[in-house]
């Protein structure tokens, strides 16, 4: 298929998204009040700072929107990604369970104390990753005084591998895709007695991925506080990227828990070359499906073939729209963040971080997407929340896109 004829956005409206409020799948994974617990833990971490919420006022005006708000996770704990929030909280919960301390909160000092280490003994945390989750697990393990081993697939960039190794992890490169790495690390962990900290779930392994999803709610609670400072009760719309779906499910579950049927309209955005959730919705049988293909998208953090079952259940029942985008949409988002309109803040965004901005711009500007724009009810009163989930995590490819113009917008879809 020729790149210049791929539409910028394919979409599906999920009718159950508005109708199913408070089903069995939201509260167990994202229980009420969980963000209060996650914030108290994360705020103890040395170097913790609230990541900024940046308003793109001039771009919003150009697109005919009331506001565009970007939670900029490129500045999270110098790790260039939000993923550390989930990995660190999951490790915290796991240590609590090992110590029989589930009923009380533990301080960071207690977690890192010699007494705690003596009680637990030798421990190695393991994970499979496209880069950001593994770096977050490696960082959290090191900060808490434990070893880590991280599996990456063969297409993972050297820069992402080095970033993981810099936090003391042993890195193993395995043949195949991210999903192959997930399967192999789980197999090897059982043999070697490692503890897997995964952001995706499978049958019999749901608790830790739920803890990862809960850890992300710190970010959303921060965003709510920052929006309140601007006099905004809540966003009217949330655009959120998806790989296995954990982040998207966490965000949508968070807002469903706060606002129920008045939650923001949600759009889940995936790479066209790794659209496992989009294709699962399209199948129409209510089940998650594997995405067939090589997952060769520039959005490395979203290159996943298997949806996480616990995330899928939330998205299936509560997300409003599912979008699938070619790589040039993410590349355009990167360039717009990096070369903003005069007066708007500069944002460093990697490929996976920028696809939601690119999708939003096409929806607002491309006449072929006017039906979607109308169904989303996007207009002058809309306050749209985006998550810049990563910064420049692969400098070589970042320069290819931003400096050299890799993944150009097809002429048919260029702004006039």
Q: Would you say 245 and 234 are in contact if contact means Cβ atoms under 8 Å apart? A: no
Quick one: 320 exposed, middle or buried, by C-beta within 10 A (0-12, 13-18, 19+)? buried
Please report, to the nearest 10 degrees, the dihedral formed by the alpha carbons of residues 80, 210, 320, 51 taken in order: -30
Please, what's the b/e burial string for 357-372 (b: 16 or more CB within 10 A of its CB; e: otherwise)? bbbbbbbbbbeebeeb
Sign of CA dihedral 103, 107, 111, 114: negative
Give the rounded distance of the alpha carbon of 236 from its chain centre: 20
Among residues 83, 256, 273, 332, which one is catalytic?
A: 83
385/215 Cα distance (integer angstroms): 19
In contact, 197 and 91? CB cutoff 8 Å: yes
Candidates 366, 295, 358; CA nearest to 323 is: 358
Contact 80, 394 (CB under 8 A): no
Nearest one of 98, 49, 129 to 90, comparing CA atoms? 98
Q: Which residue has the tokens 């460093």?
A: 348
256 touches 26 (CB < 8 A):
yes
Separation between Cα atoms, residue 179 and residue 62, nearest integer Å: 40
Report the candidate in 60, 165, 133 with the shortest Cα–Cα distance to residue 304: 133
Pairing of strands 170-174, 265-271: unpaired
Catalytic annotation, pick one of 71, 72, 130, 256: 130
Are 219 and 52 within 8 A, CB to CB?
no
83 is catalytic: yes
For residue 290, what are the contacts with CB-CB under 8 A and spacing of at least 6?
A: 179, 276, 305, 306
Residues listed for the chain:
416
Strands 53-55 and 67-72: antiparallel
* Active-site annotation holds for 39: no
State the catalytic residues. 83, 130
């Amino acid at each position: 298929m020729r790149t210049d004829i791929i539409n910028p956005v394919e979409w599906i409206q999920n009718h159950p998204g508005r109708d199913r409020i408070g089903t069995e799948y939201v509260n167990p994974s994202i229980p009420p009040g969980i963000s209060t617990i996650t914030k108290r833990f994360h705020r103890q971490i040395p170097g913790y700072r609230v990541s900024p919420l940046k308003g793109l006022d001039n771009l919003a005006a150009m697109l005919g929107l009331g506001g565009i708000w970007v939670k900029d996770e490129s500045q999270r704990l110098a790790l260039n990604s939000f993923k550390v929030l989930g990995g660190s909280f999951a490790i915290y919960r796991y240590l609590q369970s090992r110590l029989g301390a589930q009923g009380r909160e533990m301080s960071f000092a207690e977690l890192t104390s010699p007494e705690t280490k003596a009680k637990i003994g030798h421990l190695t945390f393991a994970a499979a990753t496209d880069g950001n989750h593994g770096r977050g697990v490696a960082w959290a393990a090191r900060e808490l005084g434990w070893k880590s081993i991280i599996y990456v697939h063969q297409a993972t960039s050297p820069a992402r591998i080095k970033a993981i190794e810099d936090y003391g992890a042993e890195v193993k490169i395995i043949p195949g895709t991210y999903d192959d790495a997930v399967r192999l690390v789980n197999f090897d962990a059982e043999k070697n007695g490692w503890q897997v900290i995964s952001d995706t779930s499978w049958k019999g392994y749901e608790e830790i991925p739920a803890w990862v999803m809960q850890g992300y709610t710190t970010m959303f609670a921060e965003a709510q506080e920052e929006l309140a400072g601007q006099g905004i009760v809540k966003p009217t719309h949330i655009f959120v990227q998806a790989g296995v779906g954990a982040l998207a499910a966490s965000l949508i579950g968070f807002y469903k828990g706060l606002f129920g049927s008045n939650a923001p309209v949600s759009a889940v955005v995936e790479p066209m070359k790794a659209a496992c959730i989009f294709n699962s919705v399209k199948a129409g049988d209510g089940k998650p499906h594997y995405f067939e293909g090589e997952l060769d998208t520039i959005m490395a953090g979203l290159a996943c073939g298997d949806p996480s079952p616990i995330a899928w259940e939330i998205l299936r029942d509560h997300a409003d729209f599912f979008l699938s985008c070619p790589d040039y949409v993410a590349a355009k988002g990167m360039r717009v963040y990096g070369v903003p309109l005069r007066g708007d803040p500069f944002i460093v965004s990697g490929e996976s971080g920028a696809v939601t901005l690119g999708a939003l711009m096409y929806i607002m500007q491309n006449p072929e997407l006017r039906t979607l724009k109308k169904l989303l009810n996007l207009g002058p009163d809309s306050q749209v929340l985006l998550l810049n989930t990563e910064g420049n995590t692969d400098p070589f490819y970042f320069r290819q896109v931003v400096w050299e113009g890799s993944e150009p917008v097809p002429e048919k879809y260029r702004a006039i």
